Amino acid sequence: MLTLNYQNAGLRPHELEAVRPLVGAAFRTLADRTGLGREMLGWHDLPDAYDREEFARIQRAAKKIQQQSEVLVAIGIGGSYLGARAGLEFVKGPFGNRLRQGDGVEVYFAGSNLSPDYTQDILDIIGDRDFSVNVISKSGTTTEPAAAFRIFKAKLEEKYGKAGARERIYATTDAKKGALRGLAEAEGYETFVVPDNIGGRFSCLSAVGLLPMAAGGMEIERVMQGCADACARYREPELLENDAMLYAALRFILYTRGKTVEILASYEPALTMFGEWYKQLMAESEGKEHKGLFPVSANFTTDLHSIGQFIQDGSRTMFETVLWVKNARHAVAVPHDPANVDGLNFASGMDLQQMNEKAMLGTLLAHVDGGAPNLVLTIERRDDYAFGELVYFFWKSLAVSGYLLGVNPFDQPGVEAYKKNMFALLGKPGYEGAKAALEERLKAL
Ligand code: PA5
């Protein structure tokens, strides 16, 4: 079970009591569905409410992908991408596509950037092998996935013909409207739903994330069980008995003390993409009206050799939340070397996880001494269950945090600004006026 340790947060004795009424009010606003963005709370009781029939269909589609293909290309961006990739790397590790445990296919993520080199690399990795595509877009008109879908759809149709491609394309999109819904119905693709009451960054335990995760070999029933157990646990209204609420309270206290940056640090490379998922969840939900904690993710010990200096000794604006995985899957010991030229014989026979833990504890104390408060979230192990549990923990905390800040945690109006400029500069119809004004500004650069 996930646990939260805040002994090193540097709290003064009265601080939790001081925010208790505010946190309680934010928690009730969420539970009673009376706050800003309340129409987007489909994630809140997801384990009770999700569509069981669609879940079974996701499992069947994943099996079909595994029977027909060696590779799945999952196409999407932002909320339509990050959760599935975070889940697969969390469980399968960063080399999951090479190690191929169980029935899972290799999963590559396209449509999350506009890089021709990245896209061509995926085409080269597929080579002559059989592949399927899951295109994931609520709107169907998001530039990056729309461009990638055209490219991979063309490759599928060239390889298998239109009818064969139809058997290998899965569209996850709006239930009724939007460009992709229309295209999928016209072409006869199997479709899955991005629910209307769940925003992109809360969607990874809907079909959006579940199909790529299942095709890649994750046990999605275990993911949902972890989510369900966390959902039940974090309904507890007593602040000190509810770690999700407590985490929100601690972040708020640290924020009001001028700690405006939160670093989510893990000591496990398999959690790198989880850090990317966390950054979207926090930044898109809280970063509004010139408020919010800026989320950063780091992977230690790697990043101790890059940003470690700053965390120890730079401007004192950050605190650290360590996401610690207690049990490694493998025991790998440091061999003894009689020559001892590197001076490492003090660690001969020591397991790497033991060294990792000492590094974590030593770093924690050093950073606290340097003025960076520390919270520690511990999970027992990296598995499907823990992924579902963690996802729900962060959803719930973040929603309480957003209400504490007084913002709507469920919209993302700021994301539109870059899109408008990009559409104008690309010459999309309807943006002609904006295009002229932008080009004038660009001349001055
Ligand atoms: O969280 C969000 O809402 C965004 O990150 C979207 O998921 C992202 O922009 C993709 O949108 P769509 O699914 O419409 O292609």
Give pLDDT, residue 8. 97
In whole angstroms, give the CA distance from residue 258 to residue 267: 26
Residues near 170 by Cβ (< 8 Å), separated by ≥ 6? 61, 65, 132, 133, 134, 135, 189, 190, 191, 192, 211
Sheet with strand 169-173: strands edge to edge: 106-110, 71-75, 131-136, 169-173, 190-193
Mean pLDDT of the chain: 96
CA of 132 to the centre of ligand 1 (A): 22
* Averaged pLDDT for residues 142-168: 97
pLDDT at 403: 98
139 lines ligand 1 (CB under 6 A): yes
Token digits of residue 278: 């966390």
309 Cβ contact partners less than 8 Å away, ≥ 6 residues apart: none
Q: Are strands 374-379 and 3-5 parallel, antiparallel or unpaired?
A: antiparallel
**Residue with the larger pLDDT of the pair 401 and 431:** 401
Of the candidates 279, 243, 242, the residue with the CA atom closest to the CA atom of residue 261: 279
Q: How far apart are CA 66 and CA 84, in angstroms?
A: 17
What is the pLDDT averaged over residues 87-103?
A: 92
pLDDT at 436: 87
Q: Is the CB of 199 under 6 A from ligand 1?
A: yes
Helix (H, G, I), strand (E, B) or coil at 223: helix
Strands, DSSP E only, in 142-188? 169-173
Position of tokens 């597929």?
A: 126
201 lines ligand 1 (CB under 6 A): yes
R_g of the chain, CA atoms, integer Å: 23
| Nearest to 65, CA basis, from 103, 91, 120, 122 | 103
Residue closest by Cα to atom 13 of ligand 1 = 137
* pLDDT level of residue 96 (50, 70, 90 thresholds): very high
pLDDT grade for 419, boundaries at 50, 70 and 90 = confident
Question: Do you find a cis peptide bond into 173, omega within 30 degrees of 0?
Answer: no
The residues assigned a catalytic role are 284, 305, 419
CA distance 271 to 265: 9
Tell me which of 40, 43, 80 to substitute to probe ligand 1's pocket, judged by most ligand atoms within 8 Å of the beta carbon: 80
Using the predicted structure, report yes or no on whether residue 191 has a pLDDT greater than 90. Answer: yes
Strand ranges in 240-373 using DSSP code E only, listed in sequence order: 261-266, 294-299, 318-325
From 112, 138, 144, the mutation candidate for ligand 1 (largest count of ligand atoms within 8 A of CB) is 138
- Tell me how far apart the terminal alpha carbons of the chain are, to the nearest angstrom: 53
Whether the pTM exceeds 0.75: the reply is yes
β-partners of residue 324 are 378
| pLDDT at position 217 | 97
**What three-state secondary structure class fits 125?**
helix
Give the model's pLDDT for residue 182: 96
| For residue 54, pLDDT beyond 90 | yes
User: What are 361-409's pLDDT values in tens digits?
Assistant: 999 999 999 999 999 999 999 999 999 999 999 999 999 999 999 999 9
pLDDT of 100 strictly over 80? no
Judged against a pLDDT cut of 90, whether residue 416 lies above it is answered with: no
Any idea which of 7-11, 161-165, 413-417, 426-430 has the lowest mean pLDDT? 413-417
pLDDT of residue 101: 77
- pLDDT tens digits, 314-363: 999 999 999 999 999 999 999 999 999 999 999 999 999 999 999 999 99
Distances 247 to 94, 169, 360, 402 between C-alpha atoms, Å: 28, 41, 20, 12
Using a 6 Å cutoff on CB, does residue 153 contact ligand 1?
no
- Cα gap 243→396, rounded to integer Å: 10
Q: Which pLDDT belongs to residue 444?
A: 83
Beta-bridged to residue 318, according to DSSP, are 261
Q: Residue 423 pLDDT > 90, yes or no?
A: no
Let me know: does 297 contact 339? Beta carbons within 8 Å: no
Q: What is the mean predicted confidence (pLDDT) over 218-240?
A: 98
pLDDT at 214: 98
The predicted structure's pLDDT at residue 415: 83
pLDDT: which is higher, 120 or 13: 120
**pLDDT confidence tier of residue 230, bands split at 50, 70 and 90:** very high
What residues contact residue 88 under an 8 Å CB cut-off, 6+ apart?
96, 107, 212, 213, 216, 218, 273
Q: What is the pLDDT of residue 154?
A: 98
Q: Report residue 87 as tokens.
A: 């889940």
- Edge to edge, what strands does the sheet with 3-5 contain? 3-5, 374-379, 318-325, 261-266, 294-299
Residue 103 has pLDDT above 80, yes or no: yes
Answer yes or no: is pLDDT of 414 > 90. no
Going by the DSSP 8-state scheme, the letter that residue 351 receives in this structure is: B
CA angle 272, 247, 359 (to 5 degrees): 45
Percent of the chain with pLDDT over 70: 100
Measure 352 CA to ligand 1 centroid, in angstroms: 39
Please tell me the distance between residue 413's alpha carbon and the centre of ligand 1 in angstroms.
12
- Burial group, residue 237, by CB count within 10 angstroms (0-12, 13-18, 19+): exposed
Question: How many other CB atoms are there within 10 angstroms of residue 101's CB atom?
Answer: 10
Rounded CA gap, 218 and 361, in Å? 31
pLDDT at 102: 84
Q: What is the pLDDT of residue 199?
A: 95
Strands (E), 111-202: 131-136, 169-173, 190-193
Q: What is the pLDDT of residue 433?
A: 84
